[in-house]
C-alpha cells in the first residue's frame, strides 16, 4: 500500500509554513533595536544539538560557507501513527515507535534582518529505522545568541516513499490499515529547535 496524499494536507502544510514565516518576521521587528550579531563572523564549523519532530533528538555538526552550509545529525525519533480501517475514517488505535534516525541537509539563509535574524530553506535526506529512506525540506530561522552560541528553529516535512509498506511489514499491521489518515505513514515532520556551538 502506498501513502495517500490529499490536497487538504498540502494546503495545511503551506499554511503552517506561512504562519511560521509571519511569526519570524514579527520577531525580527522586535529585535531590530538590538545590535546585529552576524553568524557569518563565526567559524565555519559548529556542533549541533536539536530536539523536535523533524530530526528527532539528534546531535551532529554543520559546516558553513557564508549563508549556505551542510548539516549532518543523528539520534532517535518518535514515530507516531494513528490507525484506522480501510473503510472507516475513525481512529482505531494510536501507536508511538522509538526509532533511530540519521539526517543530512543542505541549507541557505538568503534573507537577513537588522536584528541578526536570518530566514532560509533547507532540503535533505533522512534514514529512519522503521520508515526507511525519506526526503524533505524545511523553512528555517536562525540567530546568533553570542560569539559562539546560536539558535535555530525549523518547520519541515519528510516523505518516506516506502514508509507505509515498511510499517505494515515490520509491525504486522493488516494490509488494509490506514495510517495518519489522510496523509499515510510515510509523511512525517514538525517543529525542530536547535542550538549550535561554534568550534572554530
The whole domain housing 71 covers 7-132+143-198
Flag whether 178 is in a domain.
yes
What average pLDDT values come out for the chain (200 residues) when binned by 10 residues? 40 47 46 42 86 97 95 97 78 93 98 93 98 98 93 98 95 89 92 95
Flag whether 1 is in a domain.
no
pLDDT score at 91: 83
Flag whether 2 is in a domain.
no
Count how many domains the chain has: 1
Q: Is the pTM of this model over 0.85?
A: no
Flag whether 161 is in a domain.
yes
Expressed in angstroms, the distance from the first to the final Cα of the chain is 48
Flag whether 138 is in a domain.
no
pLDDT score at 42: 56
CATH of the domain at 149: 2.40.160
Flag whether 92 is in a domain.
yes
Phi, psi at 22, each rounded to 5° = -65, -40
Amino acid at each position: 500500500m502506498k501513502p495517500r496524499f490529499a490536497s487538504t494536507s498540502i494546503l495545511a502544510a503551506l499554511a503552517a509554513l506561512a504562519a511560521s514565516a509571519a511569526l519570524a518576521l514579527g520577531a525580527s521587528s522586535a529585535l531590530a533595536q538590538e545590535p546585529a550579531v552576524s553568524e557569518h563572523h563565526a567559524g565555519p564549523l559548529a556542533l549541533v544539538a536539536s530536539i523536535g519532530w523533524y530530526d528527532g533528538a539528534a546531535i551532529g555538526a554543520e559546516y558553513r560557507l557564508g549563508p549556505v552550509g551542510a548539516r549532518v545529525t543523528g539520534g532517535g525519533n518518535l514515530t507516531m501513527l494513528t490507525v484506522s480501517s480501510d473503510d472507516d475514517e475513525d481512529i482505531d488505535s494510536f501507536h508511538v515507535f522509538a526509532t533511530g534516525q540519521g539526517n543530512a541537509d543542505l541549507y541557505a539563509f538568503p534573507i537577513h534582518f537588522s536584528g541578526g535574524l536570518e530566514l532560509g530553506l533547507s532540503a535533505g535526506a533522512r534514514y529512519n529505522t522503521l520508515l526507511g529512506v525519506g526526503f524533505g525540506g524545511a523553512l528555517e530561522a536562525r540567530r546568533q545568541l553570542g560569539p559562539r552560541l546560536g539558535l535555530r528553529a525549523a518547520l519541515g516535512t519528510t516523505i518516506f516513499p516506502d514508509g507505509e509498506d515498511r510499517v505494515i511489514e515490520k509491525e504486522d499491521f493488516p494490509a488494509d490499515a490506514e495510517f495518519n489518515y489522510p496523509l499515510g505513514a510515510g509523511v512525517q515532520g514538525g517543529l525542530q529547535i536547535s542550538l549550535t556551538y561554534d568550534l572554530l
